[in-house]
Amino acid sequence: MKTVKLDHITKIEGHAKLHLVIDNNKIKKLKLGAFEGARYFEGLIVGRKQHDVPIITSRICGICSCIHVTASVQAVEAAFGIKASQQTKKLRELMVIGERIRSHASHLYLFALPDYLGFESSIAMAPKHKKEVNQALELIKLGNNIVTTIGAREMHPVATVPGGFTALPKQEELSNLLKRLKQQRKQAISTAKLFASLDYPEFENKTQYLALDDNGYSNISGNIVSQDQKINSDDYLKHITEKIIEYSTAKFSTLNKKPFMVGSLARLNNHFNTVSKDTQKLIEKFDLQFPIHNPFYNNLCQALEMVHHFDEATEILENLKIKPEQPAELKNKSGRGVSAVEAPRGLLFHDYTFENGKIKHANIITPTAQNLNNLEFDLWKYVPALLKLSEPELKFEIEKLIRAYDPCFSCSAHFLQLKLER
């Protein structure tokens, strides 16, 4: 029996570990888990008033702070019976689209692409692929500028609050964003073509795909759908169950007691026919047949989503004329509010119960916590075909699958710890 411990493996967000026990070329044990320290955000906001909550919960993630803020303010509004204006909804859409563009560009070019071009990192890739790296940086900058224009800063936006915005963008600023989106649209299309040209491993593992639905593709509103069911967002706890696993500090989730996947692949499996017309043309050009059951194609689906979001943001900006308005006033109330939204990596839930204007109970379920169970499910099926590889090759192929999910175990250190026993 042989034990191998590998540390400091790059290109995933945060800390993860994989423990494999192999006997006679058969897997006897496979455990994938996160070992981040507990962060207690659900406890930190108990006793807090409504305006404090989004400021705190945006710190859950530096990469996805905009969608956490949006989920948080919408959950507060649902609990307090406040309906956001159409202008507020469109500005929130723009802000999370900006975040989606920068997140997808970061993952695709800086984390995933080196795997397929034969480099250990984007830094090693840069000298020979300067165009791709520069394109990534330009897309990330555009995403950051959209977020800053709407949310008042790049990370942890402060302008969006329950009931509206404390400050509204100027029409000139929005016009400049529209101009840049039209100028850089070719970069989004180029990204989709690049990731359609890559040679993905041949692997399929059918599962359930869960995504938000608001009469089709949606970012921040609607109910939840899979291929064969529709779930009211307020009733998500009747179907999605989190459980504690002894080898992971992140919980594992099931949908009606079975693994499921969220994220770009899940969104397109459910809504490929409701994305923008040019995105649908690319789907036809690439001869993609949905539903796709190969998780490696989550990379390509992120690239396709980027084209859709360029088109979506362009349409919003072409029709948005800013009117002065103040955030709606929230009076202290008791009640429950749920917001289901789509983070870059998949479904995100913020669920708050208030008592006399203060949080009594909170439940937040992130996309990675929902995907972990399915990722382990995929590894059980994928790894047996890799057992004849050398240990470095085995590790690389396992990491490639993990990276395809674009997991966010945390937003600080980045490595996978692999413990292998033969």
Please give the share of the chain, as a percent, with pLDDT higher than 70.
90
| CATH number of the domain encompassing residue 146 | 1.10.645.10
Helices vs strands, H then E, count in the chain: 13, 16
pLDDT attached to residue 297: 98
Instruction: Please state, in angstroms and rounded to a whole number, the distance separating the CA atoms of residues 395 and 384.
Output: 13
Within-domain flag for 306: yes
Average pLDDT over residues 117-143: 94
Residue 136 lies in a domain: yes
More confident residue, 313 or 244: 313
> Would you place residue 51 in the very low, low, confident or very high pLDDT band (cuts 50, 70, 90)?
confident
39 within 8 A of 25, measured Cβ to Cβ: no
In a domain, 400, yes or no: no
Is 170 among the domain residues? yes
Domain count, the chain: 1
pLDDT tens readout for residues 328-368? 888 888 999 999 999 999 999 999 999 999 999 999 998 98
User: What is the domain extent for residue 293?
Assistant: 41-370
Q: What is the model's pLDDT at position 23?
A: 81
Alpha-carbon gap, residue 50 to 270, rounded angstroms: 34
The phi, psi pair for 164, rounded to 5°, reads: 150, -140
Cβ–Cβ < 8 Å for 310, 281? no
378-396 pLDDT, tens digit each: 999 999 999 888 888 988 8
C-alpha distance from residue 61 to each of 42, 49, 247, 345, 371 (Å): 14, 21, 23, 12, 17
Supply the pLDDT for residue 1.
Answer: 40
- Does 316 map to a domain? yes
152-161: average pLDDT: 91
Residue 19 belongs to a domain = no
